[in-house]
Amino acid sequence: MSTTQTRAGATRRPSTATRRQHRAAYLFVLPFFVVFVAMLVVPLVYSGYLSLFERRLIGGESFVGLANYLRAFGDPNFWGGLGRVATFLVVQVPIMLGLALFFALALDSGRARGSRSARLLIFMPYAVPAVIATLMWGYLYGPDFGPLAQIARAVGLGTPDFLSPQSILGSMMNIVTWEFVGYNMIIMYAALRAIPAELYEAAEIDGAGQFRTAWSIKIPAIRPAIILTVIFSVIGSFQLFNEPSLLNAVAPDAISNSFTPNYYAYNLAFINQELNYASAIAFLLGLVIAVVSYVVQLGEQRRERRERKGMA
Amino acid sequence: MTSLETRAIVTGRPPRGRRRPRPYTPQRRRSWLLTIVLWACVAYFLLPLWWLTVASTKDTSALFSSFGLWFAPEFSFFDNLADLFTTRGGLFSRWMLNTVFYAGVSAIGATLLAAMAGYAFAKYRFPGSSALFSITLGAIMIPLTALALPTYLLFSRAGLTDTPWSIIIPSLVSPFGVYLMRVYAADAIPDSLIEAARMDGAGEFRIFWQVGLRLMGPGLVTVFLFSLVGTWNNYFLPLIMLNSSELYPITVGLAQLQAAASAGGGSQAVFSTVITGSFVSILPLVIAFLFLQRYWQSGLGTGGVKG
């Protein structure tokens, strides 16, 4: 009798303690989720809602179903912008992440002099706002007093046109690469430092060279960090806005108002006052980003599973 | 004494020996080729910053007449500075203060929210925790700019556009911050310490405040710095939210000056002012990153491990 009582008491006491802990946990996450719902979920739902309507001068807002989406599917401006950011993604992201990986490995190997300072200096552009980065490169590209043009003229190459419609995308890729190589490098470098040294010291004793160690031990070990940078870069590329909108001031002929989908949505909403259509474009863009990031992750998971099967 | 000890715990040792110090190997050869290649690349990253520094010492006519990567005979940095702070009735200093205010308040708020949520996800098992955490992770994928437009419309209905709140409130959400804080808290705060504090009768909030927050130091600095940069560098959100130029942050203000200068607005804005303004406005963040590097690098390390 007395034993059952104590046992009951013993189980009841932790349960009230657990309940208190649950309550505390909910209170801890509550503030974040309040803002989360208000600033992420509600706008997302509202954007979806708006995209189903159309505002006419006469008759006000009316429900049009998926008409805005159908319009987007037939809109060459939307596809043009999407194609441009897709090109951007396919060309710029591998270059940027390749450079970042190279720097991270070089710094981690400790074979270069002044690694510490090099690391900080490569990271420095991340602290520069995109607005100022674009502004600086805009001046550097400038045909009149841009130093790049000055040097090219002095060497006798004539004045290169970095801001022509043909070269503007490449010039933009250079700006974004400049801004974000350091950020990605730091993520990879931090992951490299976390690899236990014995993992590749053994390989080095066995006579594996630097490149071999990097390729078969270090890079596989930091795959999760690399995937993280890939996903961030996918999101970043599709959302390009600052660079086109600011370069527009320097090169108005090269940058149309639908240069990237995001810039297009902005112009639609604030210049053309087509809010509903702009919402549809923004929503579609978000969908594309979600799908592409999901595919990247899925590919990674499948690869992991295959590898695990291969080892077993 | 106590604060000293805490500092030793926070900075001296990475979370639970995950990373062990590597033995120093003197036989490791330095490679000249790698050094040269690396520093050639560093030169590329420094080029625009060097140009900006040089250009901020020139007046507008020297900008056009002298070689871009070297100083002009006259040194007009202080004249440019004086111009910068007097153009449009000293609006530039107002923009700087706005940026500091928006970025500071948002970063403190975002860090606190992320720390609380991350701590709860790491240290409590409660019904729905994994679902909530998955939702948070999924939200990292949501492009924030796709949300800016509907947020603007909602805010304009609530009469919040063209106020500081329209910049600060959206910047408080940092799903990646929650993720980082969770990973960090899981490593840095031993469960036994929380249990011991409970035994001593400390409430859950006191444990978080006095034990949790202290041990999450580098993680907090990381999330703080990255939210700070996020808001500091944000251009899109303030561009659509704000109308009055007294409320502009530095990014929107400079872009507007630059547009006026390119359009040949003449008396209102000149290139040298825009350039000097850019130079002055990047100094605070560059300095902050230099001085806090030990913290943010170790904080990011944890995020990358489990990435």
pLDDT of B24: 47
B170·A131 Cβ contact <8 A: no
B89-306: CATH topology: MetI-like fold (1.10.3720)
Q: Is a pLDDT exceeding 90 seen at residue A86? A: yes
Question: Is the pTM for the entire model greater than 0.95?
Answer: no
Mean pLDDT, range A100-129, rounded to an integer: 88
- Sort out which chain A residues have CB atoms less than 8 A from B145's CB and list them: 239, 241, 262, 282
Section A81-109 average pLDDT: 93
**CA angle, corner A186, sides to A184 and A191, nearest 5?**
100
Greatest mean pLDDT range, A106-120, A276-290, B107-121, B283-297? B107-121
Contact B42 A122 (CB under 8 A): yes
pLDDT (0 to 100) of residue B298: 65
Report the pLDDT value the prediction gives residue B121, as an integer from 0 to 100. Answer: 92
Q: How confident is the model at residue A162 (pLDDT cuts 50, 70, 90)?
A: confident
From the candidate CATH numbers 1.10.510.10, 3.80.30.20, 1.20.1440.230, 1.10.3720.10, the one assigned to the domain spanning A73-311: 1.10.3720.10
Q: Which residues 177-206 of A are in CB contact (within 8 Å) with B? A: 178, 181-182, 186-188, 190-191, 193-194, 196-197
Average pLDDT, chain A: 85
Query: Among residues B230, B139, B233, which one has the least CA distance to residue B179?
Result: B139
Cβ–Cβ gap B142/A44 under 8 Å? yes
The rounded percent of chain A whose pLDDT value lies above 70 is 94
- The pLDDT tens digits for A175-204 are 999 999 998 998 888 888 878 877 777 777
Which residue of A131, A183, A199, A226 to mutate against B (max B Cβ within 10 Å)? A131
Query: Per residue, what are the HEC states of chain A?
Result: CHHHHHHHHHHHHHHHHHHHHHHHHHHHHHHHHHHHHHHHHHHHHHHHHHCCEEEECCCEEEECCCHHHHHHHCCHHHHHHHHHHHHHHHHHHHHHHHHHHHHHHHHHHCCCCCHHHHHHHHHHHHHCCHHHHHHHHHHHHCCCCCHHHHHHHHHCCCCCCCCCCCCHHHHHHHHHHHHHHHHHHHHHHHHHHCCCCHHHHHHHHCCCCHHHHHHHHHHHHCHHHHHHHHHHHHHHHHCCCHHHHHHHHHCCCCCCCCCCHHHHHHHHHHCCCCHHHHHHHHHHHHHHHHHHHHHHHHHHHHHHHHHHHHHC
Considering only the beta carbons, identify the residue of B51, B65, B132 that sits closest to A147: B51
Range scoring the smallest mean pLDDT among A21-35, A175-189, A284-298, B236-250 = A284-298
Q: Looking at the complex, does the CB of residue A44 fall below 8 Å from at least one CB of chain B?
A: yes
- The most confident of A83-97, A205-219, A241-255, B169-183, by mean pLDDT: A83-97
Q: Tell me whether residues B142 and A132 touch, CB distance under 8 A.
A: no
Identity of the residue in A150, A227, A294 whose CB atom sits nearest the CB atom of B68: A150
Q: Which residue has the tokens 């927050």?
A: B213
Is the CB of A31 less than 8 angstroms away from the CB of B20? Answer: no
Q: For each of chain B's 307 residues, which pLDDT tens digit applies? A: 333 222 222 333 344 444 445 554 544 677 888 889 999 999 999 999 999 998 888 887 777 777 777 788 778 888 888 888 887 778 889 999 999 999 999 999 999 999 999 999 988 888 888 899 988 888 877 766 678 888 998 999 999 999 999 999 999 998 888 988 888 888 888 888 888 888 888 888 888 988 888 888 888 888 888 888 889 888 989 999 999 989 999 999 989 888 888 776 554 457 888 889 999 999 888 888 778 777 766 666 555 444 3
Give pLDDT, residue A296. 86
Q: How far is A159 from chain B (nearest CA, A)?
A: 15
> In this complex, do A32 and B117 lie within 8 Å of one another by their Cβ atoms?
yes
Q: What is the pLDDT of residue A117?
A: 86
Share of chain A above pLDDT 90, in %: 25
